[in-house]
Structure 1
Amino acid sequence: MSSPDDFFALLREAQQQLDAGFASLPSAPSVSLGDDAAAILQQVALRMHDNYPYGHPLYAGQMLKPPHPIARAAYALAMSVNPNNHALDGGRASSAMELEAVAELARMFGLPQYLGHLSSAGTFANLEALWVSGQIHPGRGIAASDQAHYTHSRISGVLELPFTEIASDDTGRMDLAALEGALKIGNIGTVVATLGTTAVGAVDPLPGIFELQKKYGFRIHADAAYGGYFTLANNLGEEARAAFDLVPMVDSIVIDPHKHGLQPYGCGAILFRDPSVGRFYKHGSPYTYFSSKDLHLGEISLECSRAGASAVALWATQRLLPYTRAGEFARNISTGREAALDFYRRISAEGRLIAPCVTPQLDIVFYAVRSSEGTPEASSALAKRVFDAAAERNLHLALATLPVRFFPANTFSRHADMHVTCLRSVMMKPDHLAWMNEIWQRLEGALTECTR
């Protein structure tokens, strides 16, 4: 799809093919767009100008990756039917496509057997994982790193399960000594290992967590909502690679195809290694399950109505870009980390910036701005100025407040509770590596303006 004209031409042809499948039905009234439709859509287009250019390579702020054109087209096509994947009656074809799409995710992770489904996003997928943990270990708590997504503490509150925050080390990964100290108390039923924290892209030390599991006996849930697709990357560091290689052994794993999977929002997924956990979902409904004896996705999900179009879009994208380690999809994942490593090297050589203690584990880079005062407060204020100056040059970054211990020991005073506001860049688009010189030139211009 090389142009918008090609995109809409292919979508029109596919829509005609879909409509032909219902040609035998008698004519039914169609809903008119209305006389004001054109003007309203023009207003929508104008209102949507009030966004950052999320799909452009000069947007390197938050983790926003544009959906692939095939996903956009398949989603739009499916929406003419508007299937609901809660039950086969509401989404026959899209439910079958969901099962196939989830099987591809399981195959990518090397799961020989599994139970899983798509969800509206990683938050709900994590909720299901921890809910099942609560069913298996009633009353026992959840533990996650202080760099894990805040949703885990919230979910634990919803489930009325105790939550324990585990300190991270200077690399942003879960500290194993701190974890063991918490495990000795004896009330932790599940440890959440984050494979790609949303702040800095850190990968928790899964091999060490498994060693502790042998001693203390707990479930392991991998929150790979952001980093899951890096299992396909060919350029991970040794520690990250070791963690992803153990994913087939975790009890449950979450991944968000609407991040690196090139999907529209919202599309998450939950996979359980033990299919028998489906027993916890068992229920009956007298009005949704009546036309098939086959397994309904609604019988293994806490969510009810879910957009079948999400499954169709993911299925189509997987057919175009299979999850093979030598394929285009995997190469693009690896390119993101290569861009992050390139960016990190440039930061390390730029005297006005402060690189963190360790190289990026995935494709997220964070960095502080060096101030003449040398304090976290001055550095934070300067970072905010650089953020604004970069945006004026159409380079869009992000700000993140992180512990000063993530930076070399001689950078700031290292009080345990001291934080600094940093700049943060997510190099997740396939074009980021090719655009690195342009990105760097604009960042240097912003630095020069703010530090002269």
Structure 2
Amino acid sequence: MDLQHWLNEALANHEKWTADYGTFTPHSSLQVDPTVFGSALAELQDRLRDNYPFFHPRYAGQMLKPPHPAAVVGYLSAMLINPNNHALDGGPATATMEREIISDLAQMFGYSTQHLGHLTSSGTIANLEALFVARSLHPTQGIAYSAEAHYTHSRMCGVLNMEGHAVQADNRGRMDLDALETLLKTGKVGTVVVTPGTTALGAIEPVHEVRELTRRYDARVHVDGAYGGFFTLLAGTDLPAAPWQAIADCDSVVVDPHKHGLQPYGCGAVLFKDPEVGRFYLHDSPYTYFTSDELHLGEISLECSRAGAAAAGLWLTLRLLPLTRDGLGEVLAAGRRAAVRWSEMIRESDSLELYQEPELDIVTYFPRTDPRTLSAIDAASHRVMDTGMNAPEDPIFLSVARASRAAFEARHPGITADADGARVLRSVLMKPESEDYLDTLHARVLSLLAR
């Protein structure tokens, strides 16, 4: 895709639209010296080189990748206008796009046409809104989440002055259902957070089993699909269907288009199965809600100003890569295929060992050391990551995750636990290009170990 061509098209169309309103002279206070601008831009470009190559498949570290060119063009097209999706008055076109997007996401998750939702600036804010509604419905009860859940839940419980309960994880990094039931029996929990795709391991928590369990104790279920939510597109083909199909029966769900939705940062989403929860957002803003009797997005969100450009970028992307298995789903499937194949290569290796079987597109592994101790594994994992990242030629970029002694013993009982835990190597293969680059990546890791 020729990004330069479509950026030029976007700029040309913007100029045609603005010309319809007549010419005017920009104010002198906005004028800058082209020479000074050129110098400042050159400095900016130079400073931006102090980044890791998130765009390249040799970067297999954190959950970072560039947006799709369609997202860039869509975002830029709207950014030049700079609409605010808080109110229809601030962004009528992009607010309509946002509603269409939310309808598509609701359909993907199996929600009925009667739902409530909107985009947010992040998954953190989306989860905050879901927990805000949970507190409004059950003000005297707390929130349960897995010990392997994203830290946003414990943090947001603090923000909302709610009691958070971390439930121990099983030996696959998922919420332990026996421990959850013990907690539910106390009556202290009003909402359970379940994560189909944890950010550390990519573990798929059993949404269907959690939903069945919570029914017995009259508790709600919130699905944190910030990372894994779009894998719903692979349910029943590449992945077991049950956890993903159960989302339709859960009370709320969060997903981050700026992760697997190919968008630039600043694009999360929250959806509620029951549109009546909108009453908890009730407020009025007489100087912003005045040109339309329709529901303004700001009336059902905690955030005020929000970039309409985020909706435009996602809307255009989904026109080209729709929420189907053969559309956006194929992008996710490529990363998962890469993770599965790499796990097979690691199992056949004499110098690497899988920490845990991948379920999505995150691979965790560690060097085979002599002696086989946690301290040796910790040192070797860090050395591989550091050496690869700082190699003057042919660098690769991995990350590490810290595994506790108990977690290691559950998965690898033959390793001597001479420390409280150990770092393991962790690679996120969320770029579809990782599938084609995998042989090179694997060989490079092996070469670092051979040193």
**TM-score normalized by structure 2?**
0.94
- Kept in 2, the 8 Å contact 1:121–1:267? The answer is yes
Q: Secondary structure at the match of 2:435?
A: coil
- Kept in 2, the 8 Å contact 1:126–1:270? The answer is yes
Counterpart for residue 8 of structure 1: 4
Q: Secondary structure at the match of 1:22?
A: helix
Q: Secondary structure at the match of 1:356?
A: strand
- Kept in 1, the 8 Å contact 2:130–2:270? The answer is yes
Q: Secondary structure at the match of 2:411?
A: coil
Deviation, 1:207, is: 1.9
Distance 1:85 1:150 in 2: 28
Deviation, 1:21, is: 2.5
Deviation, 1:298, is: 0.2
Deviation, 1:16, is: 2.2
- Kept in 2, the 8 Å contact 1:236–1:361? The answer is no
Distance 1:347 1:9 in 2: 42
Counterpart for residue 398 of structure 1: 399
Counterpart for residue 379 of structure 2: 381
After the TM superposition, which residues 263-274 of structure 1 pair with which residues of structure 2 at under 5 Å, given as runs?
263-274=263-274
Distance 2:97 2:387 in 1: 46
Distance 1:355 1:437 in 2: 17
Counterpart for residue 81 of structure 1: 81
Deviation, 1:34, is: 2.9
Task: After superposition, give the CA deviation of every residue in 1:117-147 in whole Å (9 maximum; x if it has no partner).
Answer: 0000000000000000000011210010010
Counterpart for residue 349 of structure 2: 350
Distance 2:349 2:225 in 1: 32
- Kept in 2, the 8 Å contact 1:141–1:187? The answer is yes
Stretch deviating more after TM superposition (70-79 or 255-264): 70-79
Deviation, 1:413, is: 4.0
In the alignment, is residue 137 of structure 1 matched against residue 127 of structure 2?
Answer: no
Counterpart for residue 412 of structure 1: 415
Stretch deviating more after TM superposition (138-147 or 7-16): 7-16
Counterpart for residue 71 of structure 2: 71
Counterpart for residue 95 of structure 1: 95
Deviation, 1:313, is: 0.2
Stretch deviating more after TM superposition (382-391 or 250-259): 382-391
Distance 1:176 1:182 in 2: 10
Q: Secondary structure at the match of 1:435?
A: helix
Q: Secondary structure at the match of 1:202?
A: coil
Task: After superposition, give the CA deviation of every residue in 1:277-319 in whole Å (9 maximum; x if it has no partner).
Answer: 1111111012111111111000000000001100000000000
Distance 2:413 2:169 in 1: 20
Distance 2:100 2:47 in 1: 37
After the TM superposition, which residues 47-196 of structure 1 pair with which residues of structure 2 at under 5 Å, given as runs?
47-112=47-112, 113-196=114-197
- Kept in 1, the 8 Å contact 2:126–2:268? The answer is yes
Deviation, 1:436, is: 0.8
In the alignment, is residue 207 of structure 1 matched against residue 208 of structure 2?
Answer: yes
Q: How many residue pairs are counted as aligned between the two chains?
A: 440
Distance 1:180 1:414 in 2: 30
Deviation, 1:410, is: 3.0
Task: After superposition, give the CA deviation of every residue in 1:300-357 in whole Å (9 maximum; x if it has no partner).
Answer: 0000000110000000000011111233x21121111110011111111222222124
Distance 1:325 1:346 in 2: 26
Counterpart for residue 423 of structure 1: 425
In structure 2, the CA distance between the partners of 1:369 and 1:275, relative to structure 1 (3 Å rule), is same
Q: Secondary structure at the match of 2:62?
A: coil
Distance 1:24 1:216 in 2: 61
In structure 2, the CA distance between the partners of 1:249 and 1:414, relative to structure 1 (3 Å rule), is farther
The letter of the residue matching 1:60 is A
Distance 1:435 1:77 in 2: 33
In the alignment, is residue 331 of structure 1 matched against residue 330 of structure 2?
Answer: yes
Q: Secondary structure at the match of 1:118?
A: strand
- Kept in 2, the 8 Å contact 1:171–1:202? The answer is yes
Task: After superposition, give the CA deviation of every residue in 1:214-248 in whole Å (9 maximum; x if it has no partner).
Answer: 2111110000000011011265443xx32111111
- Kept in 2, the 8 Å contact 1:149–1:197? The answer is yes
In structure 2, the CA distance between the partners of 1:384 and 1:368, relative to structure 1 (3 Å rule), is same
After the TM superposition, which residues 253-332 of structure 1 pair with which residues of structure 2 at under 5 Å, given as runs?
253-327=253-327, 329-332=328-331
Deviation, 1:77, is: 1.4
Distance 2:238 2:79 in 1: 38
Distance 1:307 1:388 in 2: 37
After the TM superposition, which residues 224-243 of structure 1 pair with which residues of structure 2 at under 5 Å, given as runs?
224-233=225-234, 235-238=237-240, 241-243=241-243
Stretch deviating more after TM superposition (367-376 or 310-319): 367-376
- Kept in 1, the 8 Å contact 2:355–2:424? The answer is no
Distance 2:231 2:442 in 1: 25
Q: Which runs of 4+ in 1 moved over 6 A?
A: none
- Kept in 1, the 8 Å contact 2:373–2:415? The answer is yes
The letter of the residue matching 2:25 is P
Distance 1:33 1:60 in 2: 41
- Kept in 1, the 8 Å contact 2:352–2:367? The answer is yes
The letter of the residue matching 1:78 is A
Counting aligned pairs with the same residue, the percent is 47
Deviation, 1:39, is: 1.0
In the alignment, is residue 27 of structure 1 matched against residue 26 of structure 2?
Answer: no
Deviation, 1:375, is: 1.4
- Kept in 1, the 8 Å contact 2:339–2:429? The answer is yes
Distance 1:46 1:409 in 2: 46
Deviation, 1:33, is: 4.5
Task: After superposition, give the CA deviation of every residue in 1:84-111 in whole Å (9 maximum; x if it has no partner).
Answer: 1111111111111111111111111121
- Kept in 1, the 8 Å contact 2:127–2:270? The answer is yes
- Kept in 1, the 8 Å contact 2:10–2:76? The answer is no
Distance 2:329 2:203 in 1: 20
- Kept in 1, the 8 Å contact 2:201–2:364? The answer is yes
